Amino acid sequence: MVILKTTNELQKMRKAGKITAQALELGGAAVKPGITTGELDRIMRQFILSKGAKPSFLGFGGFPKSACISVNDEVIHGIPGKRVLREGDIVSIDIGAYIDGYHGDSAATFAVGTISDEAARLMAATRESLMEAIAVAQPGKRLGDIGAAVQNYVTERGFSVVREYVGHGVGHDMHEEPEVPNYGKAGHGVRLIPGMVIAIEPMINAGTAAIYVKKDKWTVATRDGKPSAHFEHTVAITSDGPVILTKS
Ligand code: MG
Ligand code: MG
């Protein structure tokens, strides 16, 4: 069941979203050659706690850290730790904050120093496909319009959509209905109505769409070893159009 949010609840979700966005911005600003993914996680966790919020992912399904940090061929769910970032890497940070009963959820991929043209184009296309999808998230449109917006944008540029993982509703629970795929048919699927809050999160591969889960049972990586990018916003559907809640 899709849970619609009241104006009062949306106000609370704005607060969770803002803390999430600020944490992601802080983590992204700390990305540089030589830093470990564990240190990025620590910086964001401390910030979230300093705001009186809780990191949404910490302990979620047994996840051991506050952020998911995925490097290069890693798509999502990377576990922060001793890995040192190097010049030319791309690093996807996914973070959520929970406060006053509601979650925010946001992700972005950052460049570590100078990166390859392919990685730069992949990052730009993934970010832009998210913005295209948000633009169509109007009342009366359908989930298929969102999926098609992402899929068309990235496939036209030679990239591929990860299908096994999708966006989702967000609210009191971090993962609520509906599922929000990054592929689909325009004009099909659940109709968007004011009060819905969804996380739209394209996970886009430079090579083929095939993925696997690493031995740590969390990290999702590309089969062909080519890079992957991930951008995500928590978006409220309102009568005035889409509102990004995870804006700092
Ligand atoms: Mg996320
Ligand atoms: Mg999400």
Q: What confidence tens digit (pLDDT) does each residue in 150-181 have? A: 999 999 999 999 999 999 999 999 999 999 99
Residue of 104, 48, 38 whose CA lies nearest to 69: 38
- The answer to whether residue 124 scores a pLDDT higher than 90 is yes
pLDDT band at 81 (very low <50, low <70, confident <90, very high): very high
**pLDDT of 248:** 79
Residue 50 three-state SS: helix
Residue 226 three-state SS: coil
Percent of the chain with pLDDT over 70: 100
- The answer to whether residue 25 scores a pLDDT higher than 90 is yes
145, two tokens: 């319009």
pLDDT band at 8 (very low <50, low <70, confident <90, very high): very high
pTM of the model: 0.98
- Phi, psi (5° rounding) for residue 43? -60, -45
Nearest ligand to residue 165 Cα: 2
- Residue range 144-151: average pLDDT? 98
- Please give the distance, rounded to the nearest whole angstrom, from the Cα atom of residue 91 to the centre of ligand 1: 14
- Please give the distance, rounded to the nearest whole angstrom, from the Cα atom of residue 32 to the centre of ligand 2: 25
- Residue range 66-85: average pLDDT? 98
- Please give the distance, rounded to the nearest whole angstrom, from the Cα atom of residue 162 to the centre of ligand 2: 14
- Please give the distance, rounded to the nearest whole angstrom, from the Cα atom of residue 88 to the centre of ligand 1: 24
Residue 143 three-state SS: helix
Question: Under CATH, what is the fold of the domain 7-244?
Answer: Creatine Amidinohydrolase (3.90.230)
- Please give the distance, rounded to the nearest whole angstrom, from the Cα atom of residue 47 to the centre of ligand 2: 20
